[in-house]
Each structure stands twice: as C-alpha cells, then as structure tokens.
Amino acid sequence: MLSNYLSVTYYLGFMMLWCSFVSFFYGVKYYLVSLVIFIEWEVFSFFGSSVVMTILFDWMSLTFMSFVLFISSMVLMYSSSYMQGDKFLYRFIILVYLFVLSMLFLIISPNLVSILLGWDGLGLVSYCLVIYYQNVKSANAGMLTILSNRVGDVALLLSIAWLINFGSWNFYYIQAMYTEHVLLFVLFMVILAGMTKSAQIPFSAWLPAAMAAPTPVSALVHSSTLVTAGVYLLIRFNVLLNTNMFLFYVGCFTMFMSGLGANFEMDLKKIIALSTLSQLGVMMMILSLGFSELSFFHLLSHALFKSLLFLCAGVFIHGMSDIQDIRYLGGVMGGCPLSSLFFIGCSLSLCGFPFLSGFYSKDTILEVYMMGFINIFMVVVIILGTLFTATYSVRLSFFLFFKNLGLKSLVSLEESDVMSIPMSFLFLMAISAGSLMSWFYFPCYSIFLPLAFSIFVLLNVIFWGVLIYVFMSCFHLFYLSVISYVSHYMGTMWFMPIISTYSFMPLLSLGNFLIKYLDQGWVELFGGQGVHYFFSKTSLFIDKWYFLNLKSYFFLFFIFLLFILFML
C-alpha cells in the first residue's frame, strides 16, 4: 500500500519538477528578449456570445510558476514520508494538486474573471486542507480562514461588476488606458482583496489559525501560494497602484505587529507563520512605494527559505510525537543534525545574513526605502520590525538547539531520507537563488547612503536596547506587574484574533436565525411550500369536476337550465 502512495507522490512530484524547469527556461528566455505572449482562446460561442479564456505568459508569470512548481514538487515528495500511514492520503494528494492548479491558474490570468476562478479555488481548497484533521480546533480555524477570505472575494466580485463600465475585464490593459481617479473604486476593491488574502491588518488573525493544517500544507500555503496571491495581484496592478501611502502604513504596521507577536508566541508553527506575516508586510511596504520588481524579488527569495523552515519544523514535530510547544522541545540538534543545519541556515537567510538569499532582497528593500523622503517615526517602526526578525529567530533557535533538553528529548528522533532529499534541494536554492536573481534578473540599484545615516541606524538599535534594559532593571516590580498584561496584548496580535472571532459570531448567529425563521419558516409558508400546498389543494378540488357520473351531469344541467330561465 505504501508503494502505491509513493508512486503517486513521486509521479506528481517529478512531473511538477519537470514543468518547473521548462517554465524557468522560458521565463529566462522571455526576459532576455523582452517577450510577452498574450493568448485569447475562444472556448465556445453561443448565439453570438463568446466565452474567451485569456492567458498571459511573460517573465514574471513564468518565473513565479517555476518557483511554485518546484516548491510543490519538493513538498509532495516530503509528504510521502510525513503523511505515511494516514488513512486519507489520496485525498490529501488530490487536494494539494488542486491547490497548485488553482495557484497556477491565478498566475497566468490577466483577466479578473478568470483570476476569480483561481482565487476562489485557492480559498475553497485551503479550507478543505485546514480542516483536514477533523477536530474542533481545525473547524474553527477553517471557518475563520474562509470567512476572512470571503471579504476579499466579494471585493473582487464588486471590481468585476464595476469593470463592466469599461467594456473589458482585462486589467492588464485597462490600468494603462485609464487614470487612477477613473478606476479608483476598482483600485480600492483590489487592495482590499489583496489585504485579506495576504493577511494584512486587520485581517491578520486567520494566518496563524491556518496552522491547524498538516505541516506540508503549511509549507506550501505560507511560502509561495495562498498568502502571496494577494501580493502578486497587487504587483500586477502596479501601474494603477503607483505610490499608495495607505498600503504603505498597513504593510509597515503588519510587519511590526507580527514581528512583535512572534517574540511572545510558544507554538513552533505559529512563530514561523508570524514571520511569514512579517515578510508579507515588507513586500506590501516596498510595493506601495512603487518598487513592484523588488517586491516580486523578495516574494521569490522568501518562498524558498520559508517553505524549508516549515519542512524542518515538520521533522521536529513529527519526530517528537506531534509536540509543537517550543518549551517542550530542545536538543533536537543531536537527533536531527541535517534538519537543524537547514533550519539555522534558513533562519539566517530570513534575518538577512550577508550573501544568503534573503540578504539580497531585504537589504536592497531597506536601502531603497532609506534613500527616499522618509518619516522618522516610520523609520523607527521599520527598523524595529526588521530587528524583531532577528530577535524571534534567535529566541526560536535557543529553544530548539541551545537550551537544556526538553521533556520530549527522550523520544528517539530520526531523519528519513525521503524527507531529507527534497529538503536538501530546497536548501541549495534557498542559499543561492537570491544572489543568482540579483545578478541576473532584477535591476541593479545604485545605493549611496551616507555614513552618518548608517551610524544613526546603529545608534537607534543601541538606544532601544539600552532603554529596554534600563526599564527592566530600574522598574523591576512595575515590570513584573505589567508584563502579564503586555505579553498578553502583544502575544495575541493586538487582540486581533479575538476581535475577528467575535465580529463573525453575530453574523453566524444572524444566519442561523434567518434560516430557522425565514428560509425554513415564514418564507416557506408564504413562498414555495405554501404556494405549492395551495395550488395542490385547489387542483384537487378542480379535478373532481373532471370525473362526473350521470346523476351529477343531470344536476348540473338542471342548475344551468334554472340559470337560463332566471336570466330570461
């Protein structure tokens, strides 16, 4: 039975890997010759109305497709060992495959209607994957995920309805033909859709909750597919977006909030999920300033090392009897040396360690931002948000590798070759892809920051570190009394999950009320069922006159004769 599972996962994995190489080859080719292919395929025509499918192939869509397919192939091969013994493994494989197809459909669509198909496909399949382990926690997380994403789906539908006024849904051309003021409503709705799918404030609560899904799904969803769909959509709308300060503030505060919350979190997967949210804030921040290619660069480099971080976390969780609390973990380096090496390398790449993949995109983003006309308050917020990446990465590494052995360290850890081989390929890409793309793909920015400014950043970091140390030393009693409230506030993402949950509860209660008293109550009585009951009774009465005996016939003849005499 296991061999059948392996054959399915490896077949799909190698097929996706081959498609990834082909897509990357054509992406490089189209980039070198500056080629864009726009395909219109008439699916069918009915009484003069044509249903046309549009497909866009350029260097951006093909490169993104190649990264998605490469990560998906590695995740599928990894899943054959991680999900071994699962009763519904075929269902899991099909759901992951449908998830990847929906993402590919979204990537190559320059039309909002066809994008909606991939967009809704991502939402539906992600709900099925979040509730894969059928328990109360998964059900609640799935409900929060799908209801949050439905807000963006409605926004996309409204933008489609509004584009009827312009005669086409091909936004690839429409945003170049009309100004921002003409398409202001469409721009607002697309930003709202991108914020919900990429979990920006105030829609951030669903992203850590979606960690109820299996770890291979988390590696796929939170690296290159679901959460990056909103960023990719806004990158495609970069002409219309231009410089948007609303999105800039949303991205900056999302980065700050999630980085701060990750320092108080104890769940291994949620810490990595909050780091994903932090990097999504970085992408949104630089995208809102008009640097769409830099945002796309960080999206690609982040996808590689973040997927590997989740896969390494899956090895630790899988080997320690499904324990995710980092307080119970410890000493995993002895049992999983290779996964520990990958985890530390990807954490350094996430922090922007020089010459790793994350350094080339993250450093360029920060330096390009610093060269503009900047607000000193936002500089502090962005520097702190960037530093939080280092603090929660060091904290997580300490709990996993350098503290005393946890309670679960007595469990014999092991690393499967089926898991290690795809992780090794991902690690090679995670440490080298950033430099290759920065040398080859993305434009070389000439960045000249004065020495005084660099010293200012260093002094700012030292000042905040000393301030926190002095506060904790001099106001120790005050710190002890306040720390519980502060940690609760910061650790719950500024109460966003609580607010999101309680905001949806009245709507669900209202829906239950409407179903009970309207759909299955008065509407049924005076609507479909009531009308059906009335006409069925009336028709039974009328049907009696179709079957008359001789006695009834003479009676009716007599009544009709009396009526004629009365009229005369």
- Alpha carbons 227 and 20: distance in angstroms, whole number: 20
Cα angle value 235/236/239 (rounded, 5°): 90
* Same domain flag for 438 and 546: no
Q: Which tokens belong to 222? A: 């939170």
* Same domain flag for 470 and 537: no
pLDDT for position 140: 86
Distances (CA, A) of 417 to 77, 207, 256, 411: 11, 30, 38, 19
* Same domain flag for 449 and 547: no
pLDDT tens-digit profile of 24-64?
999 888 888 888 888 888 888 777 777 788 888 988 899 99
Asked if residue 485 is part of any domain, the answer here is: no
- Is residue 495 left, alpha or beta, with left meaning phi > 0 and alpha meaning psi from -120 to 50? left
- Alpha carbons 435 and 183: distance in angstroms, whole number: 38
Helices vs. strands in the chain: H and E counts, helices first:
25, 2
pLDDT for position 69: 92
| Domain endpoint, select from 441, 474, 507 | 474
pLDDT for position 142: 87
| Domain endpoint, select from 453, 474, 495 | 474
pLDDT for position 354: 83
- Alpha carbons 530 and 120: distance in angstroms, whole number: 36
Asked if residue 518 is part of any domain, the answer here is: no
Q: Which tokens belong to 148? A: 């949050």
- Alpha carbons 452 and 455: distance in angstroms, whole number: 5
* Same domain flag for 181 and 243: yes
* Same domain flag for 333 and 265: yes
Residue with tokens 């990465």: 393
Asked if residue 493 is part of any domain, the answer here is: no
Question: Phi, psi (5° rounding) for residue 356?
Answer: -95, 175
| Domain endpoint, select from 432, 458, 474 | 474
* Same domain flag for 270 and 418: yes
* Same domain flag for 278 and 153: yes
Q: Identify the segments of the chain with pLDDT beneath 50.
A: 1
Residue 456 belongs to domain spanning: 2-474
* Same domain flag for 397 and 545: no
Asked if residue 495 is part of any domain, the answer here is: no
Type of residue numbered 28: V
Asked if residue 486 is part of any domain, the answer here is: no
pLDDT for position 566: 80
- Alpha carbons 11 and 285: distance in angstroms, whole number: 39
pLDDT for position 210: 85
Rg (CA), the chain: 30
* Same domain flag for 346 and 467: yes
71 in Cβ contact with 305 (< 8 Å): no
pLDDT for position 541: 67
110 in Cβ contact with 56 (< 8 Å): yes
pLDDT for position 407: 57
39 secondary structure, DSSP code = E
CA dihedral 194, 199, 203, 205 (to 10 degrees): 160
Asked if residue 497 is part of any domain, the answer here is: no
98 in Cβ contact with 117 (< 8 Å): no
* Same domain flag for 174 and 251: yes
- Alpha carbons 312 and 344: distance in angstroms, whole number: 10
* Same domain flag for 303 and 434: yes
Q: Which tokens belong to 535? A: 């006409």
Asked if residue 123 is part of any domain, the answer here is: yes
Question: Phi, psi (5° rounding) for residue 263?
Answer: -75, -15
Q: What is the 3 state secondary structure string of 116-158?
A: HHHHHHHHHHHHHHHCCCCCHHHHHHHHHHHHHHHHHHHHHHH
pLDDT for position 70: 92
pTM of the model: 0.84
What is the secondary structure of 234-289 as a DSSP string? HHHTHHHHSS-HHHHHHHHHHHHHHHHHHTT--BHHHHHHHHHHHHHHHHHHHHHT
* Same domain flag for 70 and 164: yes
Asked if residue 479 is part of any domain, the answer here is: no
My answer on whether omega of the bond before 337 falls inside 30° of 0, hence cis, is no
20 in Cβ contact with 73 (< 8 Å): yes
273 in Cβ contact with 208 (< 8 Å): yes
The domain total for the chain is 2
280 in Cβ contact with 199 (< 8 Å): yes
